[in-house]
Amino acid sequence: MDIDINKIKNEIGELPQARRERFQKEYGLTEEVEVFIRNTDFGEYFEKVMSELMNWIKETDEERETNEKEYFNLAKICANYLITDFQGLLKGTSFVEKNILITPENFAEFVTLIYKKEISSKMAKAILEEMFKTGADPSRIIETKGMKQVSDESEIEIIVKEVISKNERAVEDYKKGKENAFQFLIGQIMAASHGKAVPEVVSQVLKKNIK
């Protein structure tokens, strides 16, 4: 009796060790990979998201080749949010894609917004929760809830100058080497922007204006 080895392999599917090695090689995952090995449906969802992210990379610049480091960074963000915040929303139930309202395309968009630093980690949690409940795409949620981050330096500078004028003592303390004073000013600026200003930009603009 002839035995069709390839047919048997196809029926069995990808074995755990082979899947583990492929995920490590293709996506640069390490300890995160085990979740996707234990739940193949979850792993398949992750790969669908990564396929959408690959398309996004190609669409943003058709002339350049995909940067492996960039792709691995996206994979890391994707895996981390799926394993932590997303699984938290499942509240102990197993992942079954047909029961999930968030499409791979929308989750990929969510990942790109984090990657481009258009939303903070705090915003990301709120957006993901809304996506989980409603299935809405992240851009619509950001628009309807006014959650878009402010990264424009000129816009942030207006807030920075106002905070500096109201906190001259903290400014002087920072000039004397008190790092806590700088963090205090950052906190005041973030509060004045209702948490929408990009922290990295705030820090840069504040240092420039204090000098």
**pTM for the complete prediction?**
0.74
Q: Which one of 145, 168, 201 terminates a domain? A: 145
Q: Write down the pLDDT at residue 13.
A: 67
The C-alpha angle 79, 85, 89, rounded to 5 degrees, equals 125
Q: Extract the tokens encoding 100.
A: 């999930």
Q: Write down the pLDDT at residue 9.
A: 46
CATH number at residue 162: 1.10.10.410
Q: Write down the pLDDT at residue 65.
A: 53
Q: Pinpoint the alpha helices (H) of the chain.
A: 5-12, 16-27, 33-38, 40-60, 68-81, 87-90, 104-115, 121-134, 138-145, 153-166, 168-175, 179-192, 199-210
Tell me the C-alpha distance between 7 and 12, whole Å: 9
Q: Write down the pLDDT at residue 76.
A: 95
pLDDT < 50 regions, the chain: 1-11, 64
- CA torsion angle for 136, 138, 141, 147 (degrees, to 10)? 170
Q: Write down the pLDDT at residue 11.
A: 47
What would the pLDDT profile of 115-163 be if each residue is shown by its tens digit? 988 888 888 999 999 999 999 999 999 888 777 777 888 889 999 999 9
Same domain, 136 and 165: no
Q: Write down the pLDDT at residue 66.
A: 55
Same domain, 35 and 52: yes
Same domain, 23 and 120: yes
